[in-house]
């Protein structure tokens, strides 16, 4: 067994386990986009970055492709990690603003501004559909085409091969295919619908009095 420390907690994991998996086994949630338990780790989106401390130095690494090792000290939500994740999420939303998955992440992280120009490409280049087609369906009907800012997902030469089974799995797993609730009415690239959801704080002993408890005491809602 491998022993490491994640967010100050001692963690034991089997050899070959990634830091993302080791954290998940302890109930520590790390946001991911290109990762799926049924597919090989890819490390494309970088949303799952963590801070790896080595003495007085540290660096950011993708936890989905980072093997758990003895003596590792991992921080999953340090200020440095949170700042980097927000920048990465801004870049992803700027290229795929209508994705419900990305907009949900923005709400969870408290992201309220996109500083990059919105260029809706309707794709995050996460590779989930490509890997699903190859690894789960053994088809390889779609792949990455082009380079740089021309890179996209498409069948070779624009022709769907006979190997494609029309299973729809690529659409099912794609984070861009699930549209945000305010997709047609985004404000500066953000949906903002979930920001209106505020948790209700109740008494220590709840008697279902239909009241919430705030800094100023009880308030009927």
Are 58 and 108 part of one and the same domain?
Answer: yes
Q: What local confidence, expressed as pLDDT, does residue 205 receive?
A: 54
Q: Which residues contact 53 (CB under 8 A, 6 or more apart)?
A: 73, 74, 75
* Number of domains comprising the chain: 2
Give yes or no: residues 136 and 82 share one domain. Answer: no
Q: What is the pTM of this model?
A: 0.82
CATH code: domain of residue 110: 3.10.20.740
Query: Would you write out the chain's pLDDT as a tens digit for each of its 221 residues?
Result: 999 999 999 999 999 999 999 999 999 999 999 999 999 999 999 999 999 998 889 999 999 999 999 999 999 999 999 999 999 999 999 999 999 999 999 999 989 889 999 999 999 999 999 999 999 998 878 889 888 888 999 887 788 878 788 888 999 999 999 888 888 788 888 987 665 554 545 555 555 454 545 545 544 43
One domain for residues 80 and 133: no
Domain that holds residue 168: 128-173
CA dist 100 and 68 (Å) reads: 31
Do residue 49 and residue 135 come from a single domain?
no
Helices (H) and strands (E) in the chain, counts: 5, 9
Residues 106, 141 within the same domain: no
Contacts of 148 (CB under 8 A, 6+ apart): none
Q: Flag whether 55 is in a domain.
A: yes
Q: Are residues 108 and 11 in the same domain?
A: yes
């Amino acid at each position: 067994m491998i022993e490491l420390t994640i967010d100050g907690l001692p963690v034991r994991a089997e050899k070959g386990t990634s830091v993302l998996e080791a954290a998940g086994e302890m109930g520590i949630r790390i946001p991911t986009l290109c990762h799926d338990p049924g597919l090989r780790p890819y490390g494309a989106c970088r949303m799952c970055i963590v801070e790896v401390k080595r003495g007085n130095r540290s660096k950011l690494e993708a936890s989905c492709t980072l093997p758990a090792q003895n003596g590792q000290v991992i921080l999953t939500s340090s200020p440095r990690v949170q700042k980097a994740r927000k920048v990465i999420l801004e870049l992803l939303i700027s290229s795929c603003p209508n994705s419900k998955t990305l907009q949900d992440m923005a709400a969870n992280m408290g992201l309220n501004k996109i500083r990059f120009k919105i260029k809706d490409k309707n794709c995050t280049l996460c590779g989930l559909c490509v890997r699903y087609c190859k690894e789960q369906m053994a088809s390889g009907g779609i792949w990455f085409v082009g380079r740089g800012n021309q890179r996209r997902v498409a069948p070779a030469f624009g022709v769907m091969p006979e190997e494609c089974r029309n299973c729809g799995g690529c659409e099912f797993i794609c984070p861009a295919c699930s549209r945000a609730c305010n997709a047609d009415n985004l404000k500066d690239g953000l949906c903002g619908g979930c920001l209106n959801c505020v948790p209700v704080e109740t008494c220590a002993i709840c008697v279902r009095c239909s009241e919430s408890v705030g800094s100023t005491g009880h308030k009927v809602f």
